[in-house]
Amino acid sequence: MVTPAGRKPIMALYSGLDCAYSHGVRIVLLEKEVECQVIYIDPDTGTDELAELNPYNETPTLIDRDLVLYGAQIINEYLDERLPHPPLMPVDPVNRGRARLMMMRFDREWLSQVDRLSHGQAIDLDEVCVVVRDGLIAMSPVFAEQQFLLGDEFSLVDCFLAPLLWRLPALKIELPRQARPVIDYSERIFERQAFMASMSEIERDLR
């Protein structure tokens, strides 16, 4: 994601320093090995420049020449279509639909709640942690049979979930022994070169 001296990046990403949504986009960019300037900002205040690009003044926001995109899932799917190698979404429409449904559920049930916590909004931390922990425990049988969420190929769904898994200790969520397959899956994700390179300094300190 570092741009060589004298070369202009083809894309720019406005990213929060500790934003699970932005983190997922950074993983996708690195998996695609695309040159991109990452502009870290405070998501609680934003910037005047970002406000002109995004009516919600929020991260992540992607600039690709004259195109401005916001919304993590929209950005990630755009990147997968814009930069098809390596592919991170299934080819067939049935499994693409399943992948989108999984990401929508992760967003509604887990990520949106964690995002609200990171912005200091008053919600029940204990309730959020229980929902996330129990949901991951319920997913354990999936990882007992396959490497990643959609099978044996790494995908956008994994990019979407990985930032949440990294943040579990910061949320004081400890997975029990019956969730060992999820823990093993997390370790596989965290060992990927793109994941290791994707984190801001603040995110590295979450563990």
Give yes or no: residues 77 and 103 share one domain: no
Handedness of CA 10, 80, 198, 122 (dihedral sign): positive
Give yes or no: residues 163 and 184 share one domain: yes
Confidence check: pLDDT of 8 > 80: no
Give yes or no: residues 103 and 177 share one domain: yes
In which region does residue 9 sit, left (phi positive, over 0), alpha (psi from -120 to 50) or beta (all else)? beta
Whether 66 is covered by a domain: the verdict is yes
- Domain extent for 100: 93-192
Give yes or no: residues 59 and 120 share one domain: no
Whether 42 is covered by a domain: the verdict is yes
How many domains are there within the chain? 2
Per-residue pLDDT tens over the stretch 50-80: 999 999 988 999 999 999 999 999 999 999 9
Is the distance from CB of 52 to CB of 76 less than 8 angstroms?
Answer: no
Whether 167 is covered by a domain: the verdict is yes
CATH of residue 63 = 3.40.30.10
Whether 1 is covered by a domain: the verdict is no
**How much is the average pLDDT of 100-110?**
94
Give yes or no: residues 98 and 169 share one domain: yes
Whether 162 is covered by a domain: the verdict is yes
Whether 160 is covered by a domain: the verdict is yes
**How much is the average pLDDT of 179-193?**
96
Whether 6 is covered by a domain: the verdict is no
Flag whether the pTM goes above 0.75: yes
Q: What is the pLDDT of residue 77?
A: 97
Give yes or no: residues 62 and 114 share one domain: no
Per-residue pLDDT tens over the stretch 16-45: 999 999 999 999 999 999 999 999 997 666
Find, among 32, 1, 62, 12, the residue nearest to 154 by Cα: 32
Give yes or no: residues 54 and 105 share one domain: no
